[in-house]
Amino acid sequence: MNMMATTPTSSSTGAPYLAGNFAPATAEATVFDLPVTGRIPPGLNGRLLRIGPNPASAPEPARYHWFTAGGMAHGLRLRDGKAEWYRSRFIKDAATAAAVGRTPIGGPGRGSRDGPVNTNIMSVGGRLCAVVEAGGLPVELDDELESVARTDFDGTLEAGFTGHPKFDPLTGEQHALTYEPGQPVRYISVGRDGRATTKARIDLPHTPLIHDTAFTPSFIVVPDLPVTFQPERARTPLPWLWDERRDSRIGLLPRDGDGSRVQWFDAPRCFVFHFVNAYDDGDLTIVDVARHPRMFDRDHNGPNEGAPVLVRWTLDRRSGRLSETAIDDHGAEFPRINGRFGGQPYRYAYTAHWGAGVTFGPAMKHDLVRGVTEVHDFGPGRMTLEPVFVRKPGSATEDEGWILSYVYDADSGLTDVVILDAQAFTDEPVAVIHLPVRVPFGFHGGWAPDIDAAAVVA
């Protein structure tokens, strides 16, 4: 199969995002006792969860935007060295439920905050939730990924939520930046009890797209970048587009939420979906990002404006200046780290290759101390989705763990789950679990261990 023939171009049509492994799965799946090549480590007991856009009915290609479709959740259950089951389930928002002939789920937000949910899966007070940004409420899922109901975290969400919360291993809270038309940007903290607290409302002169969150022990990192709400220009259901009138800046919001003390730094003109990590170093704050040259400028149907690269932004809080240094220029996205090092100095990051034309391929391990990148090539036509780091029980060092990822095989049209030893990253996989289905390219997820379900987004 020639993936280059089905990858997006600058022609701004949604057709490429409906072809190849971008194409939606047409039905839910339930499979038991999956075949394995190699040996699943006995310490891996839990579920590898994932979610992405998956329209349940055929959209109009010209207006289709990859980010706005209904969602499908995927889960692989590992226990005692066996791959017990794989499940995929539609997230049953009103439109998806109607398309698949199911009753829409209940809960708050009907008619206003009940659109598609397709971006991430997190644990909220012990409950599994699918989440999305820009105004939609989360959907609670049961242990087998069936949609239960919309949730506003027991009435504690003032508006919508985010597609990319970040877990703080020092405090046990999850940090979120939320945005939507007509509302201020909000910094929200979600506690272990599953209740949300709005700690700050940040009024900006426009509504920027803010997908991710980064934090340090002292600050929340606030990106204000030139992709803004412009419904008058939109040719698809996503009204956030590149804005030539706006420059880039990064704000440091004190963790107490005092918006009057935000310190802003001019940043390179670019767009960032994902932070790798951030931490404080004396009077400096280090922010590592996957930087795209721009976004939703020529292509209004998906994120096809050139390959992203990993860079480090050093924010000098004394001078108010930001400096940039390159980390890696391979083309990398969907960064993950050992969650124990969130908001703290760290050494290792793991990414999926993202080349020109939104093409995927190997996984990468970045040693930020030595400045070295290791590449794990899964083979011809094989492409990893977001790599997830899972700590080994009793681990003592930062990279003592496994990398788990869904890997699409273009030749077979199927997907495997591949387990690598993070300390032997370029070696042969520890195990390969063979799925009899294809898992489409999507967004985020994580590992939900049996002993600590709250770590699903760590």
User: Are 347 and 366 a contacting pair, CB within 8 Å?
Assistant: no
What's the confidence (pLDDT) of residue 3? 40
What's the confidence (pLDDT) of residue 458? 47
- Predicted confidence (pLDDT) per residue in 64-94, tens digit: 999 999 999 999 999 999 999 999 999 999 9
CA-nearest of 410, 423, 419, 366 to 388 is: 419
> CATH for 3-457?
2.130.10
226 phi and psi, to 5 degrees? -80, 40
Q: Which tokens is 242 given?
A: 């590149």
CA-nearest of 438, 365, 413, 331 to 50 is: 438
Cα distance between residue 105 and residue 102, in whole Å: 9
What's the confidence (pLDDT) of residue 322? 98
Confidence of residue 26 (pLDDT cuts 50, 70, 90): very high
Say if residue 296's pLDDT is above 60: yes
Cα distance between residue 439 and residue 20, in whole Å: 11
Percentage of residues in the chain having pLDDT higher than 70: 96
- Predicted confidence (pLDDT) per residue in 350-371, tens digit: 999 999 999 999 999 999 999 9
What's the confidence (pLDDT) of residue 457? 47
Say if residue 336's pLDDT is above 70: yes
What's the confidence (pLDDT) of residue 451? 75
- Predicted confidence (pLDDT) per residue in 29-48, tens digit: 999 999 999 999 999 999 99
Cα distance between residue 249 and residue 225, in whole Å: 6
- Predicted confidence (pLDDT) per residue in 131-172, tens digit: 999 999 999 999 999 999 999 999 999 999 999 999 999 999
Cα distance between residue 55 and residue 60, in whole Å: 11
Percentage of residues in the chain having pLDDT higher than 90: 95
Cα distance between residue 174 and residue 339, in whole Å: 12
Domain locations in the chain as residue ranges: 3-457
Q: Residues near 187 by Cβ (< 8 Å), separated by ≥ 6?
A: 175, 176, 177, 198, 199, 200, 202, 220, 222, 253, 257
Confidence of residue 5 (pLDDT cuts 50, 70, 90): very low
Cα distance between residue 107 and residue 122, in whole Å: 18
What's the confidence (pLDDT) of residue 50? 98
* Mean residue pLDDT across the chain: 95
How much is the average pLDDT of 415-431? 98
User: Are 407 and 382 a contacting pair, CB within 8 Å?
Assistant: yes
User: Are 243 and 228 a contacting pair, CB within 8 Å?
Assistant: yes
How much is the average pLDDT of 109-136? 96
Say if residue 249's pLDDT is above 50: yes
How much is the average pLDDT of 384-410? 97
Tell me the whole-structure pTM to 2 decimals: 0.96
- Predicted confidence (pLDDT) per residue in 225-245, tens digit: 999 999 999 999 999 999 999
CA-nearest of 158, 223, 145 to 189 is: 158
What's the confidence (pLDDT) of residue 162? 98
What's the confidence (pLDDT) of residue 7? 55
Cα distance between residue 356 and residue 337, in whole Å: 24
Q: Residues near 424 by Cβ (< 8 Å), separated by ≥ 6?
A: none
